[in-house]
Amino acid sequence: MSRWPAIDELAADVKSGKIKAVELVKQSLKAISDNQEFDAIISTLEGRALDRAAQIDKQPAGRLAGVPFIAKDNFLTLGGKTTAASNILRPFEAPYQATAIEKLEAEGAICVAKANLDAFAHGSSTENSDWFVTKNPHDKTRVPGGSSGGSAAAVILDMAPFALGTDTGGSIRLPASFVGAVGVKPTYGRVSRSGVVAMASSTDVIGPLTKTATDAALVLDVMSGRDELDSTTIEKAEASYTDLDFDWSGKKIGVIKEYMQEGLDAGVKAVIEGSIEKLKSAGAAVEEVSLPSLPLALAVYYIVCPAEVSSNLSRYDGQRYGYSAKDAKNLDESYELSREEGFGAEAKRRIMIGTYVLSSGYYDAYYKKAQTVRTKIINEFSEAFSKFDFLVGPISPTPAFKIGEKTADPLKMYLNDIMTVAANMSGNPAISVPAGLAGNLPVGLQIIAPMASDHQMLAAAKAFEDLG
């Protein structure tokens, strides 16, 4: 397993002719085939990737010239299938590519493979994949986190210098923390969602998984910005995210009280407390801060998210995309059978819950109430950021858990997301940066930043890495 150099160096070497894009793609494909036992990858785009590499070698250009990457299999890509790890999309070939993929390709990057995920990104472990469970590179009996578990494992297994994930309730940050990668959940609207299989449209974001904050900043810089195909995208104020100059001294840091309480694994707690000490030694002013509504964020998320999921999944009806039941006798039966056979248990559970909380009679009791509390969460974050530059805490109550440990009880699985969902409810940018080990398992520090402060957050993450 050979490590990749920094992404900007790699692109510079391709442009100077020192290395060939074709060789990089082959290196990536070899790492994928050497590490099949981890089940991180659903499919490769070998043909298209090698063709693009040969093209790029003729005229190397772009900030990511010849750099291979891996996309979670819920990004629409050309040259292969896009399945979202679900049976219902098993035969689906995308007719166009996600804007994020287009932007990366325009700078010379090459999508080499599609990574495993919980089907439709519903989950925290990749155990809801209709394909297979990805294994944690640090311990094969444990999950890599989810839903972007394949992307996270791929980065640690050096299958590519970066991978893409989506984060609706923590799906980039949780696996990043569980495998020891950097995982960025940008501000809502920072990266276009066009061409990404929708989960919960009011919280879905797209972001990179990398080994370093510097690499993540470059990839996010290329992907971000307004897109006329996604009306929720926001303008990027800064010219670039790649200048990561930062000094912790004088910065005000709030440690989220509600995330440091009982139930937190002792090993995780020790790593986070150690990180806080490092920030203090670097000159930051650190204080505890309480956001009293945060413990409610999980309940809010598991109402709002299924509500949006139930609506977004209605398009898979056996007529327009992917799987269509063969034995149906009429149209209604075709809808029913295609969905019955095509969706897994978790998708069905979310469709049921979502339909229930949106139905008349229950709408006021659940959905409306959840949205009211969501507003409280947003207000508490913005009040906290009037006093603090960043908020910090753990990503999850435990390090990577055992495969099968939580599959019998969906509620147990949902509880993993207790520290990540709030930033999705509010839209704030948040990142997981490797912070240490609990036993032999990685633990990430979560840094949450004010709205649209993705650049400062990346600079802070790099400065945290530099503290060693």
What does the binding site for ligand GLN look like in residue numbers (CB under 6 A)? 121-124, 147, 166-171, 199, 305, 417
Q: CB 147 → ligand GLN: shortest distance, Å?
A: 4
CB of 67 or CB of 300, closer to ligand GLN: 300
Residue type (1 letter), 356:
Y
- The catalytic position among 15, 28, 72, 334 is 72
Task: Look at residues 189, 115, 105 and name the one whose alpha carbon lies nearest to residue 150.
Answer: 115
For residues 169 and 419, give the distance between their C-alpha atoms in angstroms, rounded to a whole number: 9
Task: Look at residues 384, 392, 400, 437 and name the one whose alpha carbon lies nearest to residue 419.
Answer: 392
Catalytic residue flag (residue 171):
yes
CB of 123 or CB of 393, closer to ligand GLN: 123
3-state class of 230 per DSSP? strand
CB of 66 or CB of 175, closer to ligand GLN: 175
Q: CB 181 → ligand GLN: shortest distance, Å?
A: 15
Q: CB 170 → ligand GLN: shortest distance, Å?
A: 5
Residues in Cβ contact with 424 at an 8 Å cutoff, skipping those fewer than 6 apart = 167, 168, 169, 170, 185, 188, 203, 205, 301
- The catalytic position among 28, 124, 129, 171 is 171
CB of 104 or CB of 199, closer to ligand GLN: 199
Q: Supply the DSSP string of 158-219, one letter for each residue.
A: TSSSEEEEEESSSTTHHHHHHHT-EEEEPPTTSB--TTB--S-TTT-EEEEEESSHHHHHHH
Q: Supply the DSSP string of 233-253, one letter for each residue.
A: -----SS-S-------TT-EE
Cβ 298 vs Cβ 421: under 8 Å: yes
- The catalytic position among 125, 129, 147, 293 is 147
CB of 169 or CB of 394, closer to ligand GLN: 169
Catalytic residue flag (residue 275):
no
Q: Residue 184 pairs with which residues in a beta bridge?
A: 431
CB of 124 or CB of 212, closer to ligand GLN: 124
Q: CB 178 → ligand GLN: shortest distance, Å?
A: 12
Q: CB 203 → ligand GLN: shortest distance, Å?
A: 8
List the 441-448 sheet strands across, edge first: 41-44, 110-115, 68-72, 162-167, 205-210, 182-185, 430-438, 441-448, 390-394, 252-256, 285-289
Residues designated catalytic: 72, 147, 171
